[in-house]
Every structure is written in C-alpha cells, then in structure tokens.
Structure 1
C-alpha cells in the first residue's frame, strides 16, 4: 500500500512538472531586435512595373550576434530569390552558424513564398532576424 502511495505521488509530481514546462519560443520583435526606420526601406522595383515585381530590401535587424538583412526578388508576385545582405560574422562561430543556417532559411522562404518559416536549430537569433527582415521586404512587395 505504501508503495502505491509513493508511486502515485511521484507520478503526480512528474505530470505537474511536465505541464509547467513551456515550449522554447524565439524572442518577439520587441525583445532585443531594433529596427531601422521605415524611411530606410528601399526598393529597386522599376516604376510603372506590375505590383509585386522587383527587388525589395528588407529592414536591417539587429540581433544579439549582429545585423541580419535580406533582399527579396519577386517576379509576378512570386518570390524567386532571397539574397542575404548582412549576417552575423564577427567570429568563426558566427560564420559557421550563418553558413549553415542562411541557405536553409533562404530555401524555406522560396518554398513557402512567405516569411512563415521554421527557425534553424542553433541559430535562433539569426533565424529571427532573417524572418523579420524578410517580412519587411515582402510587405514592401505586397506579397
């Protein structure tokens, strides 16, 4: 009887501890990222072109490890390429993370045709900066 009580108590404690855990989430836009003013946004879409066609430069997003900025090329409303203009590269570890994460993020963005992409494990800050810069460029393109 005593074992059953101890086992029940232990199981209950385990369930409560598991329910108390929160899933890992990326920091929100107001957590640590600072954005450039809207006046700093640039676009190289030719005037008179159809909406959603051209190259649009996203806002530079400051992260804990450096600035991330992308430019998106859109053709007839479809994302055709994403170019990384700035990425953390202050040391070998930053360069290693960027070289692994940025191509994956770019491929996901082109496949998803949006900024609703998964972060790359081990590159949370870079991923968040990439997504924010990408979204600002897509907002300009009206995609």
Structure 2
C-alpha cells in the first residue's frame, strides 16, 4: 500500500501536465516581466505539494506521489536554471528535481495519509454515535 497499487498512470499524466503548465507559467512571467520567475516557480511547487497531499488522501501511494511531484518541480528547476543549458548540463536541474520530488512526495504522502485517518476516525465516531442513539430495545418495541 505504501508504494501504491493504484495511481501510477494518473500520477504520470498529471506529472507531465504539471511540467508543461509550470514551464508555460514561468515563461509567461519572464515574457511579461512580473512577477519574478522565482516566485512563480515557488507558487507552482506549492500547488504541486497541495496536489500530492490530495492525491494521497484519495488512496495514492508514496511512489505515485513522488512521480506526481516530479513534473512541476522539474519544470520549475529546468526553466529557472542557467540560460546556457546543454544536453550534458541539463542533468543537474533534473537531479535536483528528483531529490525535491522525493522530499515533497514523501512528505505529502505522510500528511495526506495522516489527515485521511483523522477524517476516517471522525466519521467512525459519528457513525457509532448515530447507531447508539437510534437503537431499539431488545424486544423490538
């Protein structure tokens, strides 16, 4: 369950979408000139982190959470890296994105699972209360 039997396909697709949207957002900020690209990249990373928590809450495992986080983080790091990237120097921002995705993915997974358990516990408590208040006597009266 930790690795996640479900969600790899969704995580991969949304990771690619996140890469594209992050790249477009940062390039648009560069074109317009405001806000600073670092702030746009940070905003995209924060949105990705919230998405990872939500994904974990609905049953995504840790590995799919890391995959989901990778796309937007890679887009942010590649787009904001030095302008003279070559095919050999592109590995540095991508390696940084892997490290960041592991950190954000695992942390988001843990937060999502803990918050899901607390919500499930509240629902179970409410269900137990409702059953007790509507129970009938053993005689059926």
Taking structure 1 as the reference length, what is the TM-score of the superposition?
0.27
**Higher normalized contact order (CA 8 Å, seq sep 6+, divided by chain length):** 2
Whichever structure has more strand as a proportion of its residues is 1
Taking structure 2 as the reference length, what is the TM-score of the superposition?
0.28
Whichever structure has more helix as a proportion of its residues is 2
